[in-house]
Amino acid sequence: MSLPYNFIVSVLRKMNIYDKRDLSYSLMISSMITEGDKTILDIGTGTGYMADTLSKKGKRFVVGLDIDKTRFNRNSCIEHLSRPLTAISEISRTAKQNGLCITQLPNFCP
């Protein structure tokens, strides 16, 4: 990553912007999950914040998956993949029938 990007991210972390965003996302996602949803896969879990929050809502089995072991990253992984459509296809193929897939993407709106 570039030096300006890393600097901006470090400033945003100090301002707790990511924590506030993650709390907002986890509350929104928790409201979409029903009592019948017992298994959740958090792909691109980063720090595990979302997985931890979701596991506390009811009796759930939550698996956090992330291949990036080098950075203190956050969720939003689809836009970082070299083949995002392949990943989405695999999620669709392996998900339980009538399963729910929630994808979080960066907000590009002004």
Domain map (residue ranges) of the chain: 3-94
pLDDT band per the 50, 70, 90 thresholds, residue 86: very high
pLDDT of residue 71: 58
pLDDT tens, residue by residue, 45-62:
877 878 888 887 776 788
**Quick check: 48 and 64 in contact, CB under 8 A?**
yes
Identify each DSSP E strand in 1-110 by its residue range: 39-43, 61-65
Q: Which residues of 24-52 are buried (b: 16+ CB within 10 A; e: fewer)?
A: ebbeebeeebeeeeeebbbbbbbbebbbe
pLDDT of residue 110: 44
